[in-house]
Chains A and B, each alone.
Chain A
């Protein structure tokens, strides 16, 4: 913080002012343009969230959990298949979502639940389109477990999300015919943090899970922890402090698998004995859209299923299986 005391030439004063003016003009121009023209991106959300904050969302979720409890799902086999989708970004079309839903419902051996890792919709007003497919799955006697993404929350959409899903921080237990149990914990990271209350709840749940003898503990959330490639685009991560903390927390309490979305591209990271599996998007009209089928048995394996055009060789990235 000890800065140079050397006085630059007197022109530098005027030059500095001109420079600041040009930056302000640039920001004003793009700010006004974005604010006026963009109904897909909540520009106001750059500065604050219109939705409830993470602690408030967590409190509302807990209120629901306290009266409705947590689900136990019975599966027909010890090795069961879980269909997973993320970053569907539904707006005008639902082509890939339709493909996913049909494939899942036609797979008689699939687990009676599927996971959605957030960014169900692309912007305000598209929830009903997505939820029509969830209703279709539920009508078939199966369940969708969902975590919100940033697109589901901005423009103050938390209330719309909550009206349907009721909770964004919860867990459920999968029970196999042999009496084995797997725990799935859903974490709400839709504004780039779990918040203090949800973090404390997670530790308590994991502590209790440690004595319950679960075969696997799986966490799923929208925002990914690691940034090992440039696929992320212009979206936030967790802050560094929270990245250290969550990586350690998952490791200490025996979480084996963390499922994440957000970056739209697959990645596999193994850190502190925890497997972080980041999944491909399932957005329409883009190359390399996939959904994932996870097989949970003694161990985990998974496969990616293409639902649109692919770049040549994309699906040959050697990160399948374990």
Chain B
């Protein structure tokens, strides 16, 4: 056991050293978003989301997000994303964990996901699996109560951009059964439509600090129907997020 711990410590040291000494390809960014939503269970709710994007080196990214909602639900998530270029586009692997404190209903909800993605200028496709666990706040260790653990779900995300990724603004739309802040069961799709806009530099001097060029405007609408695979689809809820990202 002690030997195993040493191996783990050594491996961790190497990974951290590798990550810290290789050069990141893109700048860090921090996003702040305001949220308004409605669903038939929580009715109207609002909140905020904070999201950090941290490229550790040219091939590894880390994303972390936190969301607090007025419906008394708080979510934190983290994603580690190794990625590598292929002749056309880019492939990536997402390893994600999520924790949701459902304070209003006094329960924990945690999820873990692993997926493989392929991204091109216009289309991004991601397929993998995830599972989630539910537990009561008041559960005692010796209780008859169970942790409810979902069977493995298929994770999917198909996103289409109307312009190539390199453009200053873009609109994207698609379908997925997850976002960075929730993992729905596989037959409960979430439809999304979003856009971003990068402010142009405010000056022609290349080496001058351009505050505007560091900002990106973000907006996204997420819509969740219910009963699609009951063959009785109807509207369940929607969420609108608007905010900005600052690229360091």
Contact = CB atoms under 8 A, between A and B. Distances in A.
Do the two chains belong together in a single complex? yes
A49 B227 contact: yes
A2 B102 CA distance: 27
B157 interface: no
Most buried by B among A1, A20, A23, A238: A1
B123 A234 contact: no
Most buried by A among B121, B146, B194, B230: B230
Contact of B165 (A7, A54, A190, A191): A7
A238 B229 CA distance: 11
Interface string A216-242: 000000010011111010111111111
A92 interface: no
A97 to B, nearest CB: 22
B234 to A, nearest CB: 5
A55 to B, nearest CB: 8
Interface stretch (B1-9, B11-19, B147-155, B205-213): B147-155
Contact of B185 (A20, A237, A271): A237
Contact of A1 (B89, B122, B218): B218
A293 B42 CA distance: 36
Interface string A243-276: 0110110010000000000000000011111000
A12 B161 CA distance: 13
A272 B123 CA distance: 43
Interface residues of B, number: 67
Interface of B: 26, 29, 31, 39-43, 51, 53, 87-90, 102, 104-107, 109, 119-123, 134, 136, 144-146, 148-153, 158, 160, 164-166, 170, 182-185, 187-188, 194, 196, 216, 218, 220, 224, 226-234, 236-237, 245, 247
A154 B230 contact: yes
Interface in A193-235: 193, 195-196, 199, 223, 226-230, 232, 234-235
11 contacts: A2-B53, A7-B164, A12-B122, A19-B123, A42-B232, A45-B232, A192-B236, A235-B187, A239-B226, A251-B136, A269-B148
B41 A271 contact: no
Nearest to B28: A2
Given A7-B166, A271-B134, A236 B148 contact: no
B123 A16 contact: yes
A6 B122 contact: no
Contact of B232 (A150, A238, A248, A271): A150
Contact of A241 (B39, B134, B149): B39
Contact of B166 (A6, A244, A251): A6
B148 A48 contact: no
Given A1-B220, A5-B166, A7-B164, A191 B106 contact: no
Contacts of A230: 151-152
A153 interface: yes
B27 to A, nearest CB: 9
Contact of A8 (B89, B234, B237): B89
Interface size for chain A: under 10, 10 to 19, 20 to 34, or 35 or more residues?
35 or more
Given A11-B88, A20-B160, A53 B234 contact: yes
Q: For the complex, would chain A's binding face be called helix, strand, loop or mixed by DSSP majority?
A: loop
Given A2-B53, A19-B120, A235-B187, A54 B234 contact: yes
Given A3-B165, A190-B227, A239-B236, 9 more contacts: A2-B247, A12-B120, A15-B120, A48-B234, A191-B233, A199-B40, A235-B229, A271-B148, A272-B145
A17 B122 contact: yes
A228 B41 contact: no
A192 B227 contact: yes
A236 B220 CA distance: 25
Contacts of A251: 136
A13 interface: yes
A19 to B, nearest CB: 5
A190 B232 contact: yes
B228 A236 contact: yes
Nearest to B92: A4
Given A2-B247, A4-B165, A191-B227, A234 B187 contact: yes
A3 to B, nearest CB: 6
A193 B40 contact: yes
B222 to A, nearest CB: 12
B26 to A, nearest CB: 7
Contacts of A273: 145
A223 B107 CA distance: 21
Nearest to B158: A23
